[in-house]
Structure 1
Amino acid sequence: MTDEIWRLRRVMAVIGMSRSWLYEEVAAGRFPAPLQLGQRAIGWRRSEVKNWLGGRVRKEGNR
């Protein structure tokens, strides 16, 4: 089974964060790196974004 690929707008809508925040987190290694889909196109695996969200919810619950 193949994983769905989400483009930038979808990822931002799902996580509720801005483009600049997202790229800062990717650069820092705190958010999954995007896949290169073409010369000027990137996307994220749905499963990786969902796993990141799940980890964030667990961390928030432990405060």
Structure 2
Amino acid sequence: MSNFWDNVSKFPRFLISVLIGFFLTTLNPVFELLKQKKTRVLIILVSTSFFVIIYTILQSMLGIN
């Protein structure tokens, strides 16, 4: 029974490492694109406009002024 609890206690560490690995693997192409000046400006503009659009949509949906 103690073997079971040892495995359960290791699960949070495993979950955190899997999540960090997922985000690093997913964002690695973006980091590679940020090394070039032309694509850096484009990515910043696209991401800024994306967040502004999402913010405006949520503000309208929730009725927040």
State the TM bucket, normalised to the shorter chain: 0.3 to 0.5
Query: Is the helix fraction higher in 1 or 2?
Result: 2
Q: TM-score, normalised by structure 2?
A: 0.32
Higher relative contact order (CA 8 A, sep 6+): 1
Q: Which has the larger radius of gyration?
A: 2
